[in-house]
Structure 1
């Protein structure tokens, strides 16, 4: 299968594949094509008996800046938002559901929807210059895929989700957002070493272990939590403040919009 916005490559010697988000000129921002192509590539990897592990990364200087804010008509009703966010959440949950281990290899920025994608992976290795955050609260939005409370302590979840602050790799490691930090120039090598290790494990052990870990989260209420969040954020988007922010996005360039959003918070760290 050919892809427009991602690269899909099987390793030549070991049973793993790599998905690379390939929009470096847009900081790998994720539009619907990206989401659907990642979903299709994950499904292809799961169906391939020669793939025992999967890596997801980004081309250029970012893992991904999150969902693409350009080019959409955001003067829409709650039904649109419910459908839109349900599709996004389902695609990310398919990474979490995949019966093979998935590694996020984080180069540069992993923000908003991209942070959610990273958190739906089983493991995460980050370059020492990586940055992480959920800045969308600053423009009256929120994540469609609420994985963070299932990984982090509640205090850290509230900090990231309430402030929109970015954190560096060391802070992300302390929060357990990631498993390991490596020098940026060693990220590919270290990620592939981990992928090779997983690819050589007895696959049934990984499949059944992942199923048990996921079941613990499901029993604790992950699915109802995701569905509640989709409804809540869809409603948030159609509040007066939500519609006002979306109207600003339609009138401004992305650079102007991000400056308008973030200027009130300068100097407060």
Structure 2
């Protein structure tokens, strides 16, 4: 299968594949095509008996800056947002559900929806220059998939989701957002070494172990919490301030919009 916005490559030595978000000129911002192509590639990897592990990364200097804020019609109702966010959340959950281990290899920025994507992966290795955050709270939005409370301590969840602050790789490691930090020039090598290790494991052992870990989260209420979040954030988007922010997005350039969003918080760290 050919893709427009991602690369899908199988290793020639070991049984793992790599999905690379390939929009480096846009910091790998994720539009609907990206989301759907990642979902299709994950399904292809899961169906392939010659793929025992999967890596997701980004081209250029970012893992991904998050959902693409340009080019959409945001003067929409709650039904649109419910459907939109449900599709996004389902695609991310398909990464979490995949019966093979999935590694996020984080080169540079992993923000907003891309941070949610990273957290839906089983493991995460980050370059020492990577940055992480949920800045969408600053423009009256929120994540489509609420994975963070299932990984982090509540204090850290509230900090990231209330402030929109970015954290560096060492702080992300302390928070357990990621498993390991490596020098940026070693990220590909270290990620592939881990993928090779996982690809050589007995396949049923990882499949059943992942199923058991996921079941623990489901029993604890992960799926209802995702559904509640979809309804809550869809409603947030159609509040008065939500519509005002969407109107700003329609009439401003992305550079103007991000400055308008972030300038009130400068000098407060």
Q: How does the TM-score come out when normalised to structure 1? A: 1.00
C-alpha separation in 2, matches of 1:236 and 1:150: 22
Q: Distance in 2 between matches of 1:158 and 1:261?
A: 20
In structure 2, how many angstroms separate the alpha carbons of the residues matched to 1:250 and 1:7? 30
CA displacement at 1:5 relative to structure 2: 0.1
Q: Distance in 1 between matches of 2:121 and 2:253?
A: 32
Structure 1 position 221, deviation (Å): 0.1
Which consecutive aligned stretches of 4+ in structure 1 deviate over 3 angstroms post-superposition? none
Aligned pairs, number: 269
Distance 2:66 2:235 in 1: 21
Residue of structure 2 in register with 1:121 after alignment: 121
Equivalent residue of 1:236, what SS? helix
Instruction: Report deviation, 1:3.
Output: 0.1
Task: Encode CA deviations 1:162-212: one digit per residue, 9 max, x unaligned.
Answer: 000000000000000000000000000000000000000000000000000
Cα distance, 1:138 vs structure 2: 0.1
What displacement does 1:46 show?
0.1
Root-mean-square deviation (CA, aligned residues, Å) is: 0.1
Gaps of 5+ in 1: none
- Using the alignment, how far apart are the partners of 2:15 and 2:251 within structure 1? 48
CA-CA distance at 1:34 after TM superposition: 0.1
SS of equivalent to 2:126: strand
Report the equivalent of 1:211: 211
Task: Please list every run of 5 or more consecutive structure 2 residues that lacks an aligned counterpart in the other structure.
Answer: none
Deviation at 1:258, TM superposition (A): 0.1
Give the whole-Å Cα distance in 1 for the aligned partners of 2:234 and 2:245.
14
Distance across 2 between alignment mates of 1:51 and 1:72: 35
Residue 176 of structure 1 is matched in structure 2 by: 176
Secondary structure in structure 2 of the residue aligned to 1:54: strand
> SS at the partner of 1:80?
helix
